[in-house]
Structure 1
Amino acid sequence: MNIQEYENVLSIHRVPASKLCSEFESENFSFETTDDLEKLPNEMIGQKRAEKAMNFGLAVEQSGYNLFVVGPAGTGRMTYALDSVSKVAELRAVPTDWCYVYNFENPDMPLVIPFPAGMGQKFQREMEVLLIDIERLIRSSFTSEVFEKEKRRILDEFRDEIEDLWEQTDAYALENQIKIERTPTGIETIPLFFGRPMEIKEFEQLADTNKKMIKDRENLVENKIDETIYQILKIEDQLKKKVNQFMMETAANSIQELFQPLRETYKESKKVLEYLEAYFHDVVTHFSFFIEDKPQDEQQNIMNALMGSKEQYLRRYTVNLFVSQRNLNGAPIIYETNPTYHNLFGKVEYHGSLGSWDTDFTLVKPGALHLANGGYLILQATELLQHPNAWIRLKRALQTGSIQIENLNEDNVVIPTSGIKPEPIPLNLKVIIIGSYYLYDFLAEFDEDFHKLFKVKVEFVTLMDKDQENSWKMARFVKNFVDQEGLLPFHRRAIAKVIDYSSRLVDEQSKLSTNFHEITKVLVESSYWAKLDNESVVDGLHVEKALSEKALRSNHVTEQYREMINNGTIMVETDGSRVGQINGLAVLGTRDSVFGIPTKITAQTYVGKSGIMNIEREAALSGQIHNKGMMILTGFLSGEFAKNRPIPLSASITFEQTYSTIDGDSASSTELYVLLSSLADVPINQGIAVTGSVNQWGEIQSIGGVNEKIEGFYHICKERGLTGKQGVIIPKQNIQNLMLEDDVVEAVNKDQFHIWAISHIAEGIEILTGVSAGNVRNEKGKYPSNTIFAKVEERFNKMYESTKKTKNE
């Protein structure tokens, strides 16, 4: 191939500067600055599939149609989810209030009562007023003259009955010549002698038969006394019951009218009526709670500490307003940022009491599920899955349709606790979980309940079409963000640069990025540089300044690599020609920066049977995809040159001065070129770097990171001095991905640097060597003489003959 033919080859595959970057024309916008744009509500950009899925998921009311919003961070998942849910929630009815009340039959299982929105607080206040009125009326009734008079009548009636018994007993004793004396210390029986008490001396002077007779009469009287005392005890017990019944009737009569209006108000609620009935009977039964307090002595204070004070007893008549929706307009929306078990499901609080933990229904606290019930609960998958109990219990709640509050640590505490089990609350809500592709795939594969409970996948894509509609939406997004953050208005030239940057983010000329987080950073920084220049409007230059400064802040590692290449620490040649050596291109990255660098790839070929040895693989520095690429090289060489006889080839290929794992197949074509160079003994132009994958037919396949790779090699060549012959070979399919920096485009425009796009390995080897590939055999099955493929074939023939000769010897 002569110089003219070589120039024709270069010209055919050279990519013109016009295709190296797609610049958005600011004239497509009819406004000058964002101040001229009408402010419109936020809208989703470039996520039509996600919008349809979101609308569908929010509209379906059947169980299991919860949503999992999946996609990369920064694409507006959270913002869109909140906006979408807010629009739907406004149209829905406000859900019910929930109140926990005392369970008079089973205090350890508090009851829950639903109320229409806003009525829970009303019911709570009515119960507070009711308790005050009950205490007032009971005290008033128990101190009234009528009450005291009736109570005295009952007491007098029983007192008369008791006196009658004692009179009968006294009469019986007198008949037996015995006198009964009742003293504070007890009851004594004294024998009578002619109607007067017998003295001890007189008793001792009696005959034994008389003494025995008196003793017998005393025993009869004492038996009568015992019978009387038994009867009196029965009468006193009846008295207590009758007094208690009287006081209960008095209490019931005094408070009966207080309950009637409440029964009328809540006649439609069976649970309220049942509660009021149990409330009424408990007040009547425990009327003593409401009697006027008496000054308490020390002993009474100790008893209160042990048994509970009056205030603690009266707490049973209060209402725990568990969830109140009175301030809502529509369904509730709860975004729980820390979804621990207790934050989701609520908890029962405890307070210390004499060395133990005690609780009651007033200490039951709601969680996010309770607050979102009847509406929407939004969670981040990453935070949720950090709390295993939370995820497991959330699934259980969605499956059972109820929320059960439990104390998970109750069995593990050292100090005894008094536990309660509140009645479960029916659950009816939409759960929207936001997470990454990895977490979605993980749950879908390993959790068998996942697809049953989250049937709607809302998937956010990373790119969108670069059309007029999305460009205008991008401009309105800039407008809204600028107004929201108080930034300077953006000129249409600045927005055009932002759109170009969006295309660079996705490395595609016809697409825009949906990673609005990255775009907002550029907006903020562009406004900063405009303010620093005392400008009133952000122009295109300020966007360029923001991007260059952003790159400068994170390119420390890039500069270190370039410095090591320029001072010869990392050996890379950008001029001259070498056999079996080529410049490959790799993409490296830090946490906030991605950049391309050239890497020297070398090959040695010799006679043998071991095939192509990947030195990185032998050193355990090669990834699986890279190993696959090496195997494809063997497939290509065998298919092209070993159709009639085996190839007795041994070869070694390595990435020089690389000490970390190498993976990917974007250098497979580069490795094939260096093998062909070594086999044909034809030098490769070191001013040309190569990237591209290859298949077994020698066809070049697209790769990633094309912009970073080209720019990485360009900067090395520029720092060493551009010769006008340097450039990069890329796959033809990657032309659409080119969004190169302005200085690279300018260098190509001036013919100082070149980009060539190819579709087959033969095209690339011609550009690299200036020698015809000759990859098509003639009618005799031979390659054209003095071509790369002919030289390789000749080399293989020599290897084969050498091997054959050695075998015969």
Structure 2
Amino acid sequence: MTNYPELSVDKLRFMCDENLFNFETTASIPPLDVMLGQKRAVKAVEFGLFAKNQGYNIFISGLVGTGKITYAKAAVNKVAVKQQIPGDWCYVNNFKNSSQPIALRLPPGKGYLFCKDMEELIEDIKTEVGKIFSSDDYEQSKNDIIKKYQERRSVLIDSFNDKAEEYGIMPQWSTTGFIGVPMHDGKAIPAEEFQQLDKEEREKIEKKILMVHEKAMEVIRRMQELEREMREEIRKLDGKVGLFAAGNLIDEVIEKYQENDEVVDYLEAIKQDAVKNINDFKDHSGEEDHSNPFAFLKKNTQETIRDKYKVNLLVDNRELQGAPVIVESNPTYYNLVGRVEYETRMGMMSTDFTMIKSGALHRANGGYLILNARDVLTNMGAWEALKRILKTQKLFVENLSEQYGMTAIASLKPKPVPIDVKVILIGNPYLYYLMYNHDEEFGKLFKIHADFDTQMESNADNIQKMAGFISSTVTSKKLKHFDRSAVTKMVEYSCRLAGSQKKLTTRFSEVVKILCEADIWATMDESDIVSGKHVQQAILEKNYRSNKYEEHLQEMFADGKLMIDTEGRKVGQVNGLAVMSVGEYMFGKPSKITANTYMGKGGILNIERETKMSGTSHSKGVLILSGYIGQKYAQKTPLALTASLTFEQLYGGVDGDSASSTELYALLSSLSGVPIKQSIAMTGSVNQKGEIQPIGGVTEKIEGFFNICKIKGITGEQGVMIPYQNVDELALNDEVVEAVAQGKFHIYAVHTIDQGIEILTDVPAGICDENGTYPAGTIHDLVSRQLREYTDRFIKLSKSAEEPKTNS
């Protein structure tokens, strides 16, 4: 084996010491009451919640499972409970313009009382009006008016009748008008006798009838005037009586709300309207409009009064304790800004101020509104409406069709409500930067960005807080308590999720998932306490539910359908490591990488790139190899090299540069002719100077190759070579750690290509001397010799090809 030191067992994963905890179970740990691992984001949110200036709304970003929504609710509620309760909002009828309802603001809890007071007021007015209009005094006063006008009418008619008799005409009154009948000797002349009179006599009588008829028209007009005068006097009587009946009742309510000028103005308007329409309060039961065939479509008088004077309580804050905190899970346009609803009667749509419904912004007014950013953006009109309201600080209830120029419908135009709300948007970082870069108003309206991290430092304080988080989850989820071994395993699992021995994950949804599953396994084991073995089983079983495709690939390796060697040595062939993901499950997949080199001018050909199966990162990695070869071996002589690189049995494409060092090892082996150990797989990217660079998924890659070695047979020589920068990211499972401890599996951390090639070949890489040559027999010397041979051959062939042309 190579003389390069291997990684010791203590470097393979973070081992949590149980002695860090001074408890037996989480039952003795107080629940965690602070946000864990998000100090920067927490400070940003706290600042944003206390900032009162316009535009200091908050955008909380972070990956799913980092606790954004849970923390946002808790933080906002903590601040809101100490703040003043905002007032109630009502919409009432506008008696001057019914299409523009008036918004009234009342102290918190007074809105509900105002609705009740108005309902009682209207019922009291109807009762009092019914009493007073059915009283003897009112009937007497009304009869006096009617009698007075009847007397004047009688005088007018008697005077006319006397005048008509002077002309020899008998007046006859009917419902259709006046008829004049000629008289002779005090008796009416029958129509037959009138026709038998001579012409001159008839014409004389007809002139008299015409004169009398003209006088009758004047009398009729005068009678109509008397009728109008009588109705007006009765109306004034009704108004006077109605004011007496309703005025005192309304004044009592006015006195109760005298500190609110808007409410007082509204009650005064009610008084004027009630007096003007006092007849509506009378009992009209039993009266039906038989002349209108569509009368059943109309509201009856009692319904009209009820709706006309009703108070539409839009926002009722009587049960709040502090400022409101509203979480709108479905932020459609109407759910945000409210709506004006319609009712249909026989196909006819109608609406009024009582059908105005509140939105989330109404209910959050004076407090906080929490929204999912993606949901707001995907609902038509919601984002533009939210921005407009935050800019103008006024909330209009409008139909969405009016916003986009769709079909115009006659609707209400409620007076706007002044808005004072702090909006907390929750989304992922990509969405935040997308909105910030493409919406010029976003940065002005959401000046606070709280970015939730996925990792936190793995120090003693955070480990203790992790135990407190486990205790909180156990309490809230009603799980069995965890003992010290179980907490220790959960901390180690958190470290693996974070992908670093120096970090713990803050994706607490993944942690909670294992906590719940470990509780289930403890229940199945009939244990009262969750121990470390239950946590370990939960992790293994969770992986088992997701690793179907990994097992299928392992079966193909076992059957030889996917070809890979884990023993022996071969020239130009190496084992690379890649990571595959199926949903949330990631696993390592070894791949055979081969290189062929020969004389030519083609340089290094990436077969995946030529077949358009290579991603940009992988293509860049291959091009870097050309830079390394040129810098290393073509300082004095040109290159006459063609090389081909490929991932064998790869048909789905490849991306990433983590295999660039692996490909370079294959090239060096092919050029030097020195075989490479097939028992060692490798990963890591390389720069043009030959330095190894870190990669991702190192834990999964190592475990993936180890599983293949188990299938092929553990020989004790197998292992993996990784970049030294990835050592602190290792979180290997128990099986791999045990194999390393027993010397059956080896893990090397390398800094340069030279170190790696020596491990793979047991041949020194070679150090260039002052003359630019390498020691004989080293890898670089062998490569240099091969490249010079290619060049010399190429020159000779070129000269021989030119000689015939010269001779001719």
TM score, norm. by length of structure 2: 0.96
Q: 2:144 is matched with which residue: 138, 153, 165?
A: 153
- What aligned pairs does 1:358-507 form with structure 2 within 5 A after superposition? 358-409=350-401, 419-507=411-499
Question: Residue 800 of structure 1: CA displacement?
Answer: 1.1
| Mapped pair 1:278 → 2:269 | yes
| Mapped pair 1:141 → 2:132 | yes
Look up the equivalent residue of 2:219 and give its one-letter code: T
Look up the equivalent residue of 1:541 and give its one-letter code: K
Question: Residue 412 of structure 1: CA displacement?
Answer: 11
| Mapped pair 1:126 → 2:109 | no
Question: Residue 298 of structure 1: CA displacement?
Answer: 6.8
Q: 2:566 is matched with which residue: 570, 574, 585?
A: 574
- What aligned pairs does 1:296-311 form with structure 2 within 5 A after superposition? 296-297=287-288, 299=290, 302=293, 304-311=295-302
| Mapped pair 1:778 → 2:780 | no
Q: 1:236 is matched with which residue?
A: 227
Q: 1:254 is matched with which residue?
A: 245
Question: Residue 131 of structure 1: CA displacement?
Answer: 0.2
Question: Residue 274 of structure 1: CA displacement?
Answer: 1.7
- Relative distance call for 1:208 and 1:733 in structure 2 (3 A) is closer
For residues 645 and 615 of structure 1, the distance between their equivalents in structure 2, rounded to whole angstroms, comes to: 27
Q: 2:633 is matched with which residue: 632, 637, 641?
A: 641
Q: 1:676 is matched with which residue?
A: 668
Q: 1:263-285 deviations in whole A, cap 9, x for unaligned? A: 22222222212211211111112
After superposing the two structures, state which structure 1 stretch, 567-576 or 484-493, moved more.
484-493
| Mapped pair 1:739 → 2:731 | yes
Question: Residue 184 of structure 1: CA displacement?
Answer: 5.0
| Mapped pair 1:99 → 2:90 | yes
Q: 1:539-563 deviations in whole A, cap 9, x for unaligned? A: 2122112111111221111111111
Residue 357 of structure 1 contacts residue 416 of structure 1 at CA under 8 Å; is this kept in 2? no
- Relative distance call for 1:662 and 1:226 in structure 2 (3 A) is same
Look up the equivalent residue of 2:464 and give its one-letter code: W
Q: 1:400-439 deviations in whole A, cap 9, x for unaligned? A: 1122222224799999965222222111111111111221
- Relative distance call for 1:761 and 1:434 in structure 2 (3 A) is same
Look up the equivalent residue of 2:114 and give its one-letter code: F
Q: 1:163 is matched with which residue?
A: 154
Q: 1:69-96 deviations in whole A, cap 9, x for unaligned? A: 1001111111111110010011011111
Q: 2:784 is matched with which residue: 793, 801, 806?
A: 793
Q: 2:33 is matched with which residue?
A: 42
Q: 2:527 is matched with which residue?
A: 535
After superposing the two structures, state which structure 1 stretch, 245-254 or 733-742, moved more.
245-254
- Relative distance call for 1:300 and 1:365 in structure 2 (3 A) is farther
Q: 1:340 is matched with which residue: 320, 327, 332?
A: 332
Question: Residue 294 of structure 1: CA displacement?
Answer: 3.9
Q: 1:606 is matched with which residue: 576, 598, 609?
A: 598
For residues 7 and 759 of structure 1, the distance between their equivalents in structure 2, rounded to whole angstroms, comes to: 15
Q: 1:336-388 deviations in whole A, cap 9, x for unaligned? A: 11111222222222211232111111111111111111111111123222213
Q: 2:704 is matched with which residue?
A: 712
Residue 55 of structure 2 contacts residue 446 of structure 2 at CA under 8 Å; is this kept in 1? yes
| Mapped pair 1:353 → 2:345 | yes
- Relative distance call for 1:574 and 1:204 in structure 2 (3 A) is closer
Residue 357 of structure 1 contacts residue 417 of structure 1 at CA under 8 Å; is this kept in 2? no
Q: 1:112 is matched with which residue: 103, 108, 119?
A: 103
Look up the equivalent residue of 2:394 and give its one-letter code: S
- Relative distance call for 1:749 and 1:202 in structure 2 (3 A) is closer
TM score, norm. by length of structure 1: 0.96
For residues 415 and 787 of structure 1, the distance between their equivalents in structure 2, rounded to whole angstroms, comes to: 83
For residues 301 and 476 of structure 1, the distance between their equivalents in structure 2, rounded to whole angstroms, comes to: 76
Question: Residue 709 of structure 1: CA displacement?
Answer: 0.6
Q: 1:33 is matched with which residue?
A: 25
Q: How many residue pairs get matched?
A: 799
- Relative distance call for 1:807 and 1:295 in structure 2 (3 A) is same
| Mapped pair 1:587 → 2:576 | no
Q: 1:77 is matched with which residue?
A: 68
Q: 1:507-556 deviations in whole A, cap 9, x for unaligned? A: 21111001111111111122222222222222212211211111122111
Q: 1:693-745 deviations in whole A, cap 9, x for unaligned? A: 10011000111111111111111112222222111111111111111111111
- What aligned pairs does 1:6-21 form with structure 2 within 5 A after superposition? 7-8=2-3, 10-11=4-5, 14-21=6-13
Question: Residue 187 of structure 1: CA displacement?
Answer: 2.7
Partner SS for 2:130? helix
Question: Residue 321 of structure 1: CA displacement?
Answer: 0.9
Q: 2:548 is matched with which residue?
A: 556
Q: 1:2-61 deviations in whole A, cap 9, x for unaligned? A: xxxx642x33xx111121112010101111111122x34532111100110010110101
Question: Residue 328 of structure 1: CA displacement?
Answer: 0.5
| Mapped pair 1:66 → 2:39 | no
Look up the equivalent residue of 1:259 and give its one-letter code: I
Partner SS for 1:137? helix
For residues 153 and 621 of structure 1, the distance between their equivalents in structure 2, rounded to whole angstroms, comes to: 106
After superposing the two structures, state which structure 1 stretch, 798-807 or 199-208, moved more.
199-208
Q: 2:46 is matched with which residue?
A: 55
Question: Residue 244 of structure 1: CA displacement?
Answer: 1.7
Q: 1:190 is matched with which residue: 170, 181, 193?
A: 181
Look up the equivalent residue of 1:453 and give its one-letter code: L
Residue 75 of structure 1 contacts residue 517 of structure 1 at CA under 8 Å; is this kept in 2? yes
Partner SS for 2:681? strand
Q: 2:172 is matched with which residue?
A: 181
Partner SS for 2:178? strand
Q: 1:320 is matched with which residue?
A: 312
- Relative distance call for 1:494 and 1:183 in structure 2 (3 A) is closer
For residues 409 and 681 of structure 2, the distance between their equivalents in structure 1, rounded to whole angstroms, comes to: 74
For residues 181 and 133 of structure 2, the distance between their equivalents in structure 1, rounded to whole angstroms, comes to: 44
Q: 1:725-776 deviations in whole A, cap 9, x for unaligned? A: 11111111111111111111111111111001110100000000111100x2
Uncovered stretches (5+) of structure 2, i.e. residues with no partner: 801-808
For residues 248 and 466 of structure 2, the distance between their equivalents in structure 1, rounded to whole angstroms, comes to: 68
Residue 766 of structure 1 contacts residue 773 of structure 1 at CA under 8 Å; is this kept in 2? yes
| Mapped pair 1:621 → 2:626 | no
For residues 85 and 438 of structure 1, the distance between their equivalents in structure 2, rounded to whole angstroms, comes to: 24
After superposing the two structures, state which structure 1 stretch, 730-739 or 256-265, moved more.
256-265
Look up the equivalent residue of 2:353 and give its one-letter code: F
**Alignment RMSD (CA, Å):** 2.0
For residues 675 and 312 of structure 1, the distance between their equivalents in structure 2, rounded to whole angstroms, comes to: 91
Residue 32 of structure 2 contacts residue 468 of structure 2 at CA under 8 Å; is this kept in 1? no
Question: Residue 194 of structure 1: CA displacement?
Answer: 3.7
- What aligned pairs does 1:684-763 form with structure 2 within 5 A after superposition? 684-763=676-755
Question: Residue 182 of structure 1: CA displacement?
Answer: 2.6
Partner SS for 1:388? coil
- Relative distance call for 1:670 and 1:224 in structure 2 (3 A) is same
Question: Residue 803 of structure 1: CA displacement?
Answer: 1.5
Q: 1:3 is matched with which residue?
A: none
Question: Residue 157 of structure 1: CA displacement?
Answer: 1.4
Question: Residue 581 of structure 1: CA displacement?
Answer: 0.3
- Relative distance call for 1:153 and 1:644 in structure 2 (3 A) is same
Residue 356 of structure 1 contacts residue 416 of structure 1 at CA under 8 Å; is this kept in 2? no
